[in-house]
Amino acid sequence: MMKKEYTLFILGFIVFFVFGFLVASIYYSEKEETSWGRAYTVSEMLGTGVMNPQGEEFGKVSDFVIDTHGRVPFAVMSYSEKSVAVPFGMLTYSTEGKHLVLDLARDKLDSAPAFDKSVLASGKSVEDTYKHYGQAPYWTEEVSERMQDSPMEAPSSEYAGP
């Protein structure tokens, strides 16, 4: 009788171990999808193509704007015959295609003001750029509160206006 109990104990232990291993692997595989992921340097991103979700090319990243807090409010993109600033939070990286995706109608880029780095000194001009794309600047109250709750979240809420 003792041998049967010992065998059941060993089988129970094995089942418990396998179950624990499966639960842990599922948990960590889900965590992996939302974890840091691969980081990219600015030099790797310069010249990266920007496309819409349908695969049509908009242009290429020519520069980034970094504020005094170390955040990236804009990617500067060569588009048509001009450079335009696009809120960085609107861009996603496609690892399959090795390009950035901008889910935006082409007419919004057509009507976007040409990027002029002198406007960076004017908070109003920077906010106007965000408004053009229907985005709330990350430093606005609504977005700042959300960023405090979840600092890794991209700042891409719809802009409701003043």
Give 100-139 pLDDT, tens digit per residue. Answer: 999 999 999 999 999 988 888 777 888 888 999 999 887 7
Q: Within a domain: residue 19?
A: no
* Residue 67 to residue 120: CA distance in whole angstroms: 9
Estimate to the nearest angstrom the gap between the alpha carbon of 131 and the chain centroid: 19
CATH number at residue 89: 2.30.30.240
Q: Within a domain: residue 11?
A: no
Q: Within a domain: residue 81?
A: yes
State the Cα torsion 94-77-127-42 to the nearest 10°.
60
More confident residue, 45 or 10: 45
> Is the pTM for the entire model greater than 0.85?
no
Q: What local confidence, expressed as pLDDT, does residue 22 receive?
A: 45
Q: What local confidence, expressed as pLDDT, does residue 41 receive?
A: 83
Of 37, 145, 16, the closest CA to residue 95 belongs to: 37
Q: Within a domain: residue 92?
A: yes
More confident residue, 141 or 73: 73
* Residue 86 to residue 76: CA distance in whole angstroms: 6
Q: Within a domain: residue 46?
A: yes
Tens-digit pLDDT profile for residues 73-96: 899 999 989 999 999 989 998 878
Q: What DSSP state is assigned to residue 118?
A: G
Q: Within a domain: residue 157?
A: no
Q: What local confidence, expressed as pLDDT, does residue 50 receive?
A: 95
Contact 80, 59 (CB under 8 A): yes
More confident residue, 120 or 156: 120
Residue-range definition of the domain harbouring residue 114: 42-149
More confident residue, 48 or 38: 48
Q: Within a domain: residue 24?
A: no
Q: What local confidence, expressed as pLDDT, does residue 56 receive?
A: 92
- Number of independent structural domains in the chain: 1
Q: Within a domain: residue 156?
A: no
Q: What local confidence, expressed as pLDDT, does residue 112 receive?
A: 93
